[in-house]
Every structure is written in C-alpha cells, then in structure tokens.
Chain A
Amino acid sequence: MDYPAILLIVAACAYVAGMAGALLLRRVGRLALSVGFGLAAVGGACGFLSGVTSLATGQAAARGAVTFWSGPAPNLRLVIQADPLSCFFVTIVSMLGAAIAIYSLGYSGAYLGRKSVGLLAALYNALLLATTLTFVAGNVWVFLIAWEMMALLAYGLVTFEHEDRETRGAAVFYFIMSHIDAVCVMLGFLVLFQAAGDFSFDGLRGVGAKLSSGQRDTAFLLFVVGFGIKAGLVPLHVWLPVAHPVAPSNVSALMSGVLIKTGIYGIARVCFEFLGGPPLWWGALLLALGTVSAVLGVLYALMEHDLKRLLAYHSIENIGIIVMGLGASLMFVSTGHPVLAALALAAALYHTINHASFKGLLFLGAGSVLHATHTRNMEEMGGLVKRMPQTAMLFLLGAVAISALPPLNGFVSEWLTYQALLQGFGSTDSLLRLMFPVGGAMLALTGALAAACFVKAFGISFLAQPRSQAAERAREVPASMRLGMALLAIACLFLGLFPTVFLGWLGPVMNQLTGEALAGRLSLAGGWVLAAPGANAGSVSTAAMTLFGLSFLLVPLFLRRMLGRRAKTVRGPTWDCGLQGLTPRMEYSATGFSKPLRMIFKALFRPHREVQREYEFSPYFARSLRFESHVEEVFEERIYRPTRFWILRVSRRVRALQQGSLQVYLLYIFLTLLGLLLWAV
C-alpha cells in the first residue's frame, strides 16, 4: 500500500478540516486558533512524513499520475501526480507549515479580540492546501488553479492588517505582480500546449524537442519572467521587500520560506522536464540573473534597518544562489555533463530546503522580536539577549546558518554550489565558461556580505543596551513560539550535520530531472564525509567538524576545573573610561554599521546626505544639527518608476477611446466586426 500517498490525503483533509473548523468557530477566538492551527500542524506533520518516506523508500519514483475527476471537455481533468520533485517540495511546505502553525498558536494570541483569528487560521490552512496542490498538480489546469488560489490567499493574508495604509499598498502591489506572473506562466503553457496537444504533465514531458527554437526560447523566457517574479529574481523582485515585511510574521515566514520556492519548482519542472535539451545561453542567463540577485540582494539588505525588510532582501539573495545552481545545472546539461548537472541541481535544491528552514526560523525570530517590542526598526531595539535569551539563541543559530558557516546547513549547500561552479570552467570551450569563476567569486562576496549583514542584524537588535522603552520592556515569548522556532532550528542542524543522509533522499529527484542518481557518489566513509564527484573535487565532513570542535571544548573546561577552582568570579560593569556611565546612545547604529560598505558601493547606492545646521551667528556653534542620509533604490528609480510613468502616460492617451457615448461604442463594435470579416477573407 502506498502509505505515504494516504498520508498526503490525510494531510489535505486536515487542512480542509482546519479551514472549516476555524471558520465555523471564528466567533470563539481562542478555540478557532487552537483548532485551526492545530489541524494545520497535524496536516503539516502528515505531509512531511509523506514526503520524506516517499523519497526515502523510492515510492515517489514509482508513482504515476492519478486522475481524480474527469470533466466534459477533453483536457478538463483533475490530475494529481506526486513524483519525486513534487514530494521534495511537499516536504518543504509541510515542514514549514507545521512549525509555523505551532508558532502561530502563541503568535496569533496577540490578535485575539482585535481581529478575526479564525479567519487567519482558515486562510493559513487554505494557503497550505493550495501550495501543496500546486506542487502535486499533474496537469496544467490544476496547476494554474492552485497557482491562482495561492496568489489570492496570499494576498488575503498579506492584507490581514489592512488598517495600515502601507500594508494595503503593499498588498495591492503584490496582487498585481502575482497576476503579471500568472499571465506569463499561462502564456508559456499555451506555447507548450500548441506543440503537445495535451495539458497533462505526462504529455508535456519532452515537448521541447517538438518546438521550433524560436518557440522554445519564447516559452523559456515567458517561464523565466513568470516564475522569476514569483521567486523574486532581480530585476523582477521589487514586490518582495514591500510585501513580505507588512504581513504578519508567521505569514512572512511562510511566504519567504515556501511561496517563493514555487517559482523554483516551476523553473525546475519546466526547464528540466518539459523543455529539455537547453541551449547554453539559457543556463548562462539563469546563472547571470542568479548572480546579480545574490549580490544585489545582500547589498540592499545591508542598508536596511527594518528587520523584516532586511530578511526579505536576504530571500532575494538566497533565491539568487538557488537560481545560480539551476543555471549552472542547465549549462552542464547542454554541454553534456550529467553528473555535474546533477551536482549543481542537488546544490540548488539543497539550498532551497535550507533557505526554507533558516529563513523561516529567522522570520519567526523577527516575529518574536516584533511581538515583544512592537517595532520592526532595529534602531529601537537592543539588549534583547538578556530579556529573550532563547529567542536570541535561536535567531543566532539562524543567522549562523544563513551566513553559511560550518557546521550548519547553509554551509553545506553553498559548498556544493561552489563545487559545481569550480568544476564548470573546464566543462566547455565556449566563452560563457568564464561565468563560472565569476559566479564563484560573486558567491564568495555575497557570503562575506551576508555574514556582515547578520552581524549587524543580530548585534544591533539583540546586544548591548536597549535603545528604547519598548525594548527595555521586552519579555520572552510564549513556549509555543519558541517550540516552532526550535523545530526549524533542529531542521537546520540536521541538514547541516547529516548531508549525506539528506542527499540520499534527494537521489530520486536527481534521477527524475537529470537521469543521474548521484547519491552514491557523494558520500564517503559510510556517510560521514560529503564528497563532490570529479577528479579535483573536495570533500568535507560537518559532523566530524562538530565532533572535533566539541571535543576541543573539553580542554578549556578541564583547565577551568583544575585551575580556576579557587578563583572567584566578580561581575562588574563594562569599562567606560571612568565616565558617569554608558548610555544607549553610545551604541553603534544599524545605519552607521553599514556606512563603510555604502561608501564602497557608492556607484550602486548613490547615497545622498543632508546636514541641516541651525545657528545664530557663528557656524562654529550650531543650535541644532541634523544629519540624514538616504540610499537610492536602483531598480525602483531607474526601471519601475519610468515604466510606471510611461504606462500611465500611454494609458491616458488610450483612455481617449473611452468616450462614454453609446454611439461611439456601437461604432467600435461595427469596425471590429468589419475587421474580422476582412481578416477571415
């Protein structure tokens, strides 16, 4: 019996039950909350188990598509296919869904009495269902319907705090971008349908061979734009840092953790399965876009002082890294290196789940901070490590993970990405091979900048003294919130310490997409060492590193025991040069921390500074002095604003057609009819 498949159906039912229960009980806030999120957690757990066991036991690979319902028209069917790629993504969404649901049990408590928690829980369950459905869709209809549902439900969740004008604007922006991307995806599928004649995924497999190169390229570009918008790929990313921060934090975590991964799922499915046999420039384009996203994402993140916006920009950076892996993989497929292609793809997908776990953890941490201090502005935080120690430690773990420091998961996936890129230079004679080392160098740059950015994020938010009353009054968050974060932290640890185990599960996915299982080649020493395939490739063992490090720790502990027994510990204030005392104003500010980098990358940021000095007679003695500096958002200012301007301008011209007079409209109808008749002839 296909137990995992049954588990998946149970999960879906749990979501539906949660949705219904939350809506029915919405008047009783606390009950709606427990029922809704509780069932979501159950569903998530089932979905997670389903996905993992499907992959581990190989049942995913053996599955075919299942038709649940057939409609009157020939292509109108409800087809579900839980193949390895789908199971992988279902694992991600379920893991995150469950952890966040547990977190939400405590987090949503803040909304009780003010807003409808039942609605929140219901939308949450529905979103999880829609996303799961997107991943297991077996045919274009189901896919598009689920896609659209996802967009609408996400919009609903983003506008949950619609009292704020900023939120409303952000949500509308998100809505528009979602629909642009839906249009692109639909057009892409239509191009494919033209050649395949079949809407089901089984039928679309390998359709690329039947298309002319012009049509293939068009389809590819449409999909890249469509899925790129969803994923947040530069230059289509502008909605991400606007929409993610304004949503409630548990929703932001889900959006950053899962929803943007649907774009990755789309690109992987379409490029590897449907289009197949890519020319070299496709991979190069993705590699380039990924590199640019990674670098720009982290640079803009460094300039942010809003904690959630900073994390949103980091999502852009990590999507860039994932897309770099995908691009490299496509390039290897077109130059005929299936093993390297599998390696790069493994790196990309590994980073996907890693990003989901640590970004989810970080957003939940940010949510906890927001819950405790009621502010997102880092310049008003500080001193939280003493007031919220567990949250601080969990956030720190997430920060270490995202900075790709061993032995956590970020390190493993970036290591795999580096291995793929470093071996790329020798894979082809085309000039495009230069992109590999450049990509590697840029990846190194983003790694360093990301570490700097998280030193800032953790340091300014949690350390030193509180900078505001709100930060001073912060208290540790409820246990359910910490439990949710802890679950994701455990995931980060597992993915970091046991990469070979996880890659074993990923094997069927590699097999499905590139024909190479790869898993056997990647592990040495009975699974303790992760090795990359290839003559010059390296190997690393995070588990061994950790054990080594821990054993080293015994030495100072032992020394302390032996030698430090007689010493007494005295606690004293920080040395302050003999002053009256240190004040919070003497702590480094977030914007001050990133100032040197702002100066180095001046050409990109175009910072303006403004000094307002008010004085009576002599400029030497100012009465007041104000210093402000701003950073220009390159894409907003240079691309979107002019585009918006021109679209509005053209629209105003076109509006001339809307005369509002019946006669004129009748004339239009007549002219159109005439035109069509002539054309038919």
Chain B
Amino acid sequence: MSTAQLLADDPVWLILVKVVGIFAFLVVMTLFMINWERKVVARMQQRPGPNRVGPNGWLQSLADGLKLAFKEDIRPVLADKWVFFLAPVISCIPAFVAFSVIPLGGKVTIFGQETALQLVDLPVGVLVVLACSSLGVYGIVLSGWASGSPYPLLGALRSAAQVISYEIAMGLSIVAVVMSSHSLSTADIVSTQSGTIAWGALPAWNAILLPVSFVIYVISMVGETNRAPFDLPEAESELVGGFHTEYSSLKFALFFLAEYVNMVTVSALATTLFLGGWQLPFVGVDHFLNSGWWGLLWFVVKTLGFLFLFIWLRGTLPRLRYDQFMRLGWKFLVPLALFWFVAVAFTRYFNQERQADNVSTSLLLTVFGAVLAVVLLIAFLLPDKREHKDPNAVPITGGGYPVPPLDLQVPKSPPRRQVPVAQLPTAEDRTAEPAAVTASAKEAGDGNA
C-alpha cells in the first residue's frame, strides 16, 4: 500500500491533528534552534552563551520571543501600510506550507486510524517545496520595498537575486534525484533509498549515489535560506539589518520565525532527498526499528545534523562579497549541476541498454574512450591563455609574495642616538610580562570549563 493510498482515507480530524502537530513541531524546533545556535556558536567562540533563563539557559529564546511580542510596533511614516503588514505574513506562510509534503515517518496508528506520518503525499511533492520557497521571496522583497527606506530596499534586491539564482542550482541538483528515483513524490523518493549498495557496506542513499547533487544542494540550501556565509540580504556591516531594518515587535518575530522554519524545511528536504528520509539504514525496511514512530526519531536526528551544519558554517566562515557569491552560483554551481545531470542521464540510459543487451560493455567503453580522447585532444590543441601584463606593476621577486628584490640597496642606518643605560628594560621587566600572560590565559580557561 503506497503512502498516497494510506493518506487518502484520513478523516478530517486526523488531518487537523497532523496540521497542528507539524505547526507545533516547527515552532518548537525554531525555539530550540535559536538557543542551540547561540550555545554552539558560543562554544565555538570559547564563551558560555545564554545560561540564565530556565534550566541551563534553554528557555532564553522563549523569553526573547515573549519580549518581542510585547514590544511597541513601529511603522515608518514613509512605509506602504498594507504591504508593510502583508510582507511578514507572506514570508511566514509558505515556510510552514512547504513542510506539509515532508515524510516524517512510516506507517503508524493514531487513535486507531492507520496512516502515515506525513500530511500529504502529492505526485509533485518536491515541486511544492520549490514553489513555496519562490513565494517566500515575496515576503522579503515586499518588506524591503514597503519600508520606504534605502537599506531595506537594497537588502531586498540582494535577497531576490540571491534566492532566485540559488533556486536554479537547487532545482537542477534535485533533477538528478528525481531521475534516479523516477518520481517527484517525497514518499517514493524515500522508499527508493531503502536498500544498500557496494555489497551491503553503504546505504543506498542518494548522497552516496549522487554526491555532486548532494554537495550542490547543500551549498544552495544555505544560499536559499540567507544564512551565513551567504547572509548578504541582512549583512550587518553593510546594510544595518537588511530587509527587516524597519520592522519591530511581532512582525520582526515573524521574519525570524520564517527564517528558522525555512532552515528546518530545507534540512528536512535534504534528509528526505539524500539521506534516506526517516529510514534507518542497514536494518531493512521491515525491521522493527523502521516501524511505527521510530522513523520520526531517525528523521529528527538526520535533520538536526543538517541544522548543526548551518550553525557550524555560521561559526566558521566569513561572509562572502556579493560578486563572489553570484559568481559561485552562476559560474560554478549551475554549470556543474547541468553537466552532472546530463552525465547521470547518459549513464542511466546506457545502463538500461546494456541490461537489455542492446549494447555490449566493450562497445560502451570504446565509445567513452573515444569521446574522452577527442576532448583531451581539443584541450591540448587550445592555446594557453595569455597572461595579462600590467606595465605599471611593481616588480616582485619570489613566489608571488612581496619580498624585497635580491639586489636591494639597504641605506646606511643613521648614527644611533645614545640611550642612557638606566632607561633600558632590565631582565626582570622582560620576564614579568610573560608571567602575566599565562595567568590571564589560565583564567580564561577556567571560565570555559
């Protein structure tokens, strides 16, 4: 029985329970994620992080959320009243809707009703997520425009360009996955990844079968969610706060919520598309560890792995410059994705033909060898790119580093001024300094432990 058939006879109350459940899951994940991010980043920067509100500081984000809700709601005079109000709502709704097609687990029984842990399984499930992310951009763009002030507008323009260009790379990377699983439905994509490959040594995850797609997807999902190192729409050092500069109170909180829900959604989609979804590898589909509510646990663990990656990147990498960022997207990721999915298509086609005994393996190898030889020949025949010489360039010796030339004439040093012996630092002064340094380093270490 397929997931779509399982879900088809869900009564209305069960659908409502699932909707509320997914909503609660996403909101709780957001609250957890904000705290986790602050704690992990703090740990990476050798400081304790939030540790005051609640047990070990884990209720900090809840307190912050409540505080935000009770703040004064300010609307700038120049703002466009309706669009200013609409923008955070638009950015929030698609983020939640996108999660409806994600399979959270396998077959379970809820109050005696047999169903799957998924709200809906569409034949075009993956497209729903893409459609929702393309609608989510409206929230950002409109917020920037409606604020009626320059920095948000700049942030919004950046964001629109960014999300649209990285959505192309993302879509192209998903194409290879769809080709290999013959379906756009998320539940089907999960079920095609259930076996093992390489004589049972590796799970048949798309991340292993289609590594290039996986890498492209992971890079573009960071770009898509406007997270560091791709957080150019809200670059603090350039744009104050970016598109949400003029927002305050609950509207600002909605933007925050949308950002984190989007992160959870793209991580969940990455789990679904590339890491076998809710299934535990190696044990087989019928094992009890893959039955009932266990799937939810594996799903959450895998998703949290991706979310940790988001935090790790933010704690590690500096922000890219805008042109570097665009170059990465258009000149590297998109061509690579195109090349990769054509290669996958060819491989699949010839594999089919070979299995049908229309083509022999030796013929295939010969043809591929010939193509490779032609490509190599062309590559060798192409003339080298001529180096551009700058006539005004300062001559540099050594391996590209600005070291002084070998024949440098060092001018004679001027006659030294006599310093009275009493003013020179004594040996005791010199040793006193390092001692102070070790003492402070020790203190810092204690603070962290």
- Are A and B genuine complex partners? no
List residues of chain A with CB under 8 Å of any chain B CB: none
